[in-house]
Amino acid sequence: MNYYCLVAGLPDLQPENLKNVPSLESLLAELHETLKGKDLELLKLLQQEYDNKNLLAYLANKEAELSLLGTLSAEDLAEGITIMQESDIPKDKRLPVYFPTFYNAVTDEKIEPTLGLHENFLATLYYENGCKCKNKFLSEWFTFCLNLNNILTAYYCRKYNLDIKTNVLGDNDVAKSIKSTNARDFGLTGVIDNLELLFTIAEEPNLLEREKRIDALKWAWLEEQTFFHYFSIERVLAFFIRCQLMQRWSGLTPEEGEKVFRGLLDEMKQQVHFQKTA
C-alpha cells in the first residue's frame, strides 16, 4: 500500500537540523491513525523496543513510570503477566511473540537474576524476532543493527578485557564468528561492509562524536535502502527511525555520552565478575 498524502506531508529531515523533527509521541499518534493491517504491525514491531524497556521496569517496580512510546500500557503488562503465568503459550495478541519465552526463562531462573543479563536476553529475542520479519526492509534493518552493535560491543570487550560471549547478542553467522575467533577482524572481512570504518569509529575518543558517527552510518543505510521506495510503508518506517535517531542527538551531551558508555562498561564488568564467582 502506498501513502501518498502521508509521505508528502512529512517534513524533510536533515541530520544537522533538529528543528523539523516531530515528537515521537505526535508522530506515532498520526501513524496509528493512518496505517492499517500489516503495515501498522510493522510499526508496532519497532515500538516493541520500548515495550521491552517497560516490561523490565514493570517487573522491577509495578509503580515505575513507563514510556508512552510502547504498545503496552501498565494494565496491558499486568494482564499479560497474569496470562503468561497461566499458560506457556498465551494467545493474547497484544504481547510480543517473544515475551513468553523471556518471562518463562526469568521465572524459571534459567537466566541469572542480573538486570544486564535480563536486558541482553530480551534484546536477543527482540532482534531475532525482528530479523525474521517478512518485510525485507525491516528484517534487513534489524540484521544490520544487530551486526553493528555486536561488532562494536566485541571491539570494546576485547579492548577492556571483558567477556565477549556474554555481551554479543544472538546466534547469527556474524555473532558466531565474533564469539569463536581471536582474529583482529573477528573473521568478518569480506562479510561486513565498512568493517575498518567501524573500528575507526570505535576508537573515536569523543563519545558524543562517536555516537553521532554510529547513527550517521544508520542514517546512510536507511537512505540507501529506501532510495527507490517513494510512498511505501518502508519510507514511512524509515522516517520514524530517523526521528528516533535525531531525538537521541538532540538530548545527548558529551557528559551524558560519557555516563552511558561508562554505565555499559560497568554492567559488562559485573557480568564477568558474576560468571567467575558462580
Which value, to the nearest 10 degrees, does the dihedral of the CA atoms of residues 274, 275, 276, 278 take? 80
Contact 118, 111 (CB under 8 A): yes
Which pLDDT value is given to residue 206?
84
Q: Report pTM.
A: 0.87
Name residue 14's beta-bridge partners.
Answer: 17
Residues 6+ apart with CB under 8 A from 231: 2, 3, 4, 6, 7, 8
Which pLDDT value is given to residue 201?
92
Burial 262-277 (b: 16+ CB within 10 A, else e): eeeeebbeebbeeeee
Which pLDDT value is given to residue 195?
94
Residues 6+ apart with CB under 8 A from 235: 3, 7, 226, 229
Helix spans in the chain (H): 4-9, 24-34, 37-60, 74-86, 99-107, 115-131, 136-159, 164-167, 173-180, 195-202, 207-225, 233-251, 254-277
Q: Which residues of the chain have pLDDT under 70?
A: 110-116, 250-278
